[in-house]
């Protein structure tokens, strides 16, 4: 395993390449410009292609085209740019295309600021675009997590044939840390993986085991399943948009059971809980350590995958033991706190502390907010 | 008896779905005939736009991908670049899709000289949504969103896509043809064939703009629509080969 000192944006891009990403299209926007810049010089080395799209909208659509040709593909942006990509992500979710979208969040709403923020939790986890669909949303708090989750994002996208979002904030993109890079997937391995999905690719039917497909087979996710069923000599199941949405709904329910990821830190004897994700979660962790040094029995709940949300980690809290929960986010009003409230349902008092407008939440101010309660 | 004419083997035998007098059906048939003659069906992908053009999706026997409104050239860019080398990709778009909401995507795909084919059907209106003003609606021509006729002083003039794209360095082939008459249909087929052959030869971006009619939204009979094309739209949009390299 190779260990390197890297910048967040570049670490994400390199992890993507090692996961097999061979196509990237993106449009410049701060604070994630190092992502397209890295891909522009890296992808030609591995036989991939980089295209600087004329817009965010064009970029996500190019990625959809590459994904439908069976190539692992990715785009990246920051908050306002991700809004523009929503159209394509919605289309990709309906078409059941595996691809990865990274959002290095900055201040909002609107153009907001170019400094780090966690302004898009609602957008990423509740309604990324029109139509009612969901994505697995991974949210790293360290660069090592950013690398590992990027690698995982491609595997999840392939497994579910659904877009996956990397929800990082500008801090994760801009800072440098040592990271252990994952193994580079070999061309043979990537070809093998591509062969495994050949029966739903849209790149000319001579590459599939089934010939021309007529419109009777159409209907979002069910088209793909039907094509594979026919290729396997089985009877295709029911099809159509409603059926497709039902199948997608079942997928989202499976995620809730199988794919949550959360860090519980010093929770065994905790009487207080601080919770946050991404950079806010990381700073909150250092606040927990500082408070523990003063003898305060405080623990941390840090969601690492924010959708599916780890409701169970909060539901398991004992109201007789936990005096209150302090939710910390780089967003005003707080966004993730709504999911915490949903899990807790008035059983434990929940307080919220946030910074916004591109201000990074500080350890001392978290401690001050905690002590004021 | 020898069979001299039939539905191309490259087309699904389905009910049209187009209004009487619409020329989309002719264009679909021509594209399918070209695919048959070039023997490329099993390695071809159509990226369809949104509007009446997406009705064609049920006709194509080749692989079909639906793009969001206007984005077909971007989808085709990613697809063509990453698909197996011999894959043939074409977009099928109307004038609202290509020249309004998708103007940016078509300009940049053309400017990059992407090696795919664009079939662009221009009927001067938004057909599927009910006859709203299109980027190609003539000055003075009525539309449901221009009830008193298109006023140039308010909304400007029709966009001439072949002429606009002809300002760019990269495109290989830009032609405007029409399906108003048998001789023109034959010329249209030749242009479509050339646009596909260019791609197969790796020559780069080819676009065929095909003048069509929309009797339903023009409020004319099919025959009067043809007359309107010859007297009006084909005058505003002169036929010809604008670029051939």
CATH code for the domain in which residue B204 is found: 3.40.50.970
Q: Is the dihedral of CA B154, B157, B158, B164 positive or negative?
A: negative
| Within a domain: B6 | no
Task: Band the pLDDT of A221: cuts 50, 70, 90.
Answer: confident
Can you read off the two tokens belonging to residue B201?
Answer: 């030869």
Give the number of domains in chain B: 1
- Which fold, A261-371? Rossmann fold (3.40.50)
Query: pLDDT tens digit string along A197-206?
Result: 888 888 999 9
* Cis amide prior to A308 (ω within 30 degrees): yes
| Backbone angles phi and psi of A331, in degrees to 5 | -160, 135
Which residue in the set A54, A63, A207 is minimally distant from B104, CB to CB? A54
Inspect the interface and report whether the beta carbons of A64 and B75 lie closer than 8 Å. Answer: yes
| Within a domain: B178 | yes
- Tell me, yes or no, if A25 comes closer than 8 A to chain B by beta carbon: yes
Inspect the interface and report whether the beta carbons of A87 and B81 lie closer than 8 Å. Answer: no
Give the CATH H-level superfamily of domain A2-181.
Answer: Thiamin diphosphate (ThDP)-binding fold, Pyr/PP domains (3.40.50.970)
Inspect the interface and report whether the beta carbons of A88 and B88 lie closer than 8 Å. Answer: no
Residues of A in contact with B108 (CB under 8 A): 53-54, 58
Q: What is the pLDDT of residue B183?
A: 98
The two beta strands, A324-329 and A272-275, are parallel
Residue A212 has pLDDT above 90, yes or no: no
Residue A218 has pLDDT above 80, yes or no: no
Q: What is the pLDDT of residue B176?
A: 98
Distance in Å, alpha carbon of A64 to nearest chain B alpha carbon: 6
Which residue in the set A51, A55, A206 is minimally distant from B43, CB to CB? A206
Q: Give the pLDDT mean for A138-158.
A: 98
- How would you write B179-222 as a 3-class SS string? CCCHHHHHHHHHHHHHHHHHHHCCCCCEEEEEECCCHHHHCCCH
Q: What is the pLDDT of residue A197?
A: 86
| Within a domain: B155 | yes
| Within a domain: B15 | no
- In A, residues 93-112, which contact B (CB 8 Å cutoff)? 95
Task: Band the pLDDT of A250: cuts 50, 70, 90.
Answer: very high
- Tell me, yes or no, if B138 comes closer than 8 A to chain A by beta carbon: no
| Within a domain: B127 | yes
Distance in Å, alpha carbon of A306 to nearest chain B alpha carbon: 28
Query: pLDDT tens digit string along A28-69?
Result: 999 999 999 999 999 999 999 999 999 999 999 999 999 999
Distance in Å, alpha carbon of A205 to nearest chain B alpha carbon: 5
Common-topology check for domains A2-181 and A261-371:
yes
Q: Are B175 and B86 in contact (CB under 8 A)?
A: no
Inspect the interface and report whether the beta carbons of A215 and B66 lie closer than 8 Å. Answer: no
- Tell me, yes or no, if B42 comes closer than 8 A to chain A by beta carbon: yes
| Within a domain: B5 | no
pLDDT under 70: residue ranges of chain B: none
Whose tokens are 């449901």? That residue is B144
Domain locations in chain A as residue ranges:
2-181, 197-258, 261-371
Query: pLDDT tens digit string along A98-138?
Result: 999 999 999 999 999 999 999 999 999 999 999 999 999 99
Can you read off the two tokens belonging to residue B17?
Answer: 């779905």
Chain B residue with CA closest to A208: the answer is B42
Residue A240 has pLDDT above 90, yes or no: no
ipTM: 0.97
User: Lowest-confidence range among A74-78, A216-220, A276-280?
Assistant: A216-220
Residue A192 has pLDDT above 80, yes or no: yes
Residues of B in contact with A68 (CB under 8 A): 65, 75, 78-79
| Residue B192 belongs to domain spanning | 24-244
Residue A1 has pLDDT above 80, yes or no: no
Name, in order, each residue with C-beta under 8 angstroms of B79's C-beta and a sequence gap of 6 or more.
A65, A66, A68, A69, A202, A203, B45, B47, B65, B87, B89
């Amino acid at each position: 395993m190779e260990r390197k000192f890297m910048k967040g944006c570049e670490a994400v891009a390199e992890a993507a390449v090692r996961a097999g990403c061979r196509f990237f299209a993106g449009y410049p926007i701060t604070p994630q410009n190092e992502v397209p810049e890295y891909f522009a010089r890296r992808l030609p080395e591995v036989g991939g292609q980089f295209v600087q799209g004329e817009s965010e909208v064009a970029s996500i659509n190019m990625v959809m085209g590459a994904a439908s040709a069976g190539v692992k593909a990715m785009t990246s942006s920051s908050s306002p740019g991700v809004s523009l990509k929503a159209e394509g992500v919605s289309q990709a979710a309906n078409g059941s295309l595996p691809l990865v979208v990274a959002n290095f969040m900055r201040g909002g709403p609107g153009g907001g600021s170019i400094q780090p923020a966690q302004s898009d939790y609602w957008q990423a986890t509740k309604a990324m675009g029109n139509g009612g669909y969901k994505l697995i949303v991974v949210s790293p708090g360290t660069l090592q997590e950013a690398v590992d989750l990027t690698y995982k994002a491609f595997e999840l996208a392939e497994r579910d044939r659904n877009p996956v979002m990397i929800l990082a904030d500008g801090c994760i993109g801009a800072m440098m840390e040592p990271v252990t890079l994952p193994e580079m997937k070999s061309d043979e391995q990537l070809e093998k993986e591509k062969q495994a999905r050949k029966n739903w690719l849209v790149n000319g039917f001579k590459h599939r085991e089934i010939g021309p497909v007529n419109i009777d087979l159409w209907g979002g996710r069910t088209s793909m399943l039907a094509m594979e069923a026919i290729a396997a000599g089985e009877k295709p199941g029911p099809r159509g948009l409603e059926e497709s949405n039902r199948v997608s709904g079942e997928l989202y329910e499976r995620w809730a059971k199988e794919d949550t990821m959360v860090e519980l830190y010093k929770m065994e004897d905790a009487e207080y809980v601080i919770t946050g994700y991404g950079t806010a979660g990381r700073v909150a962790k250092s606040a927990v350590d500082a408070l523990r040094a003063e003898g305060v029995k405080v623990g941390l709940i840090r969601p690492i995958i924010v959708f599916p949300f780890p409701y169970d980690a909060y539901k398991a809290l004992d109201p007789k033991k936990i005096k209150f929960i302090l939710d910390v986010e780089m967003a005003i009003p707080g966004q993730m706190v709504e999911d915490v409230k949903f899990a807790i349902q008035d059983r434990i008092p929940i307080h919220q502390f946030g910074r916004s407008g591109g201000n990074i939440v500080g350890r001392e101010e978290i401690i001050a907010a905690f002590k004021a309660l | 008896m020898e069979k001299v004419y039939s539905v191309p083997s490259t087309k699904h035998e389905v009910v049209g779905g187009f209004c009487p007098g619409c020329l989309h059906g002719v264009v679909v048939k021509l594209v399918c005939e070209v695919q048959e003659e070039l023997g490329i069906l099993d390695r071809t992908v159509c990226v369809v736009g949104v509007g009446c053009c997406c009705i064609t999706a049920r006709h194509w026997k080749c692989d079909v991908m639906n793009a969001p409104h206007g984005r077909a050239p971007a989808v085709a860019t990613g697809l063509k670049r990453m698909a197996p080398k011999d894959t043939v990709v074409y977009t099928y778009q109307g004038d609202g899709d290509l020249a309004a909401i998708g103007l940016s995507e078509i300009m940049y795909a053309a400017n990059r000289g992407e090696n795919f084919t664009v079939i662009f059907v221009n009927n001067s209106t938004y057909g599927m949504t009910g006859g709203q003003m299109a980027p190609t609606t003539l000055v003075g021509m009525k539309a449901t969103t221009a009830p008193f006729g298109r006023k140039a002083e308010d909304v400007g003039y029709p966009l001439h896509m072949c002429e606009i794209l002809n300002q760019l360095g990269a495109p290989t082939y830009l032609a405007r043809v029409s399906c108003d008459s048998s001789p023109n249909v034959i010329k249209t087929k030749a242009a479509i064939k050339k646009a596909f052959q260019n791609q197969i030869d790796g020559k780069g971006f080819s676009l065929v703009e095909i003048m069509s009619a929309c009797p339903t939204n023009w409020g004319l009979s099919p025959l009067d629509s043809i007359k309107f094309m010859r007297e009006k739209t084909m005058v505003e949009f002169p036929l010809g080969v604008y670029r051939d390299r």
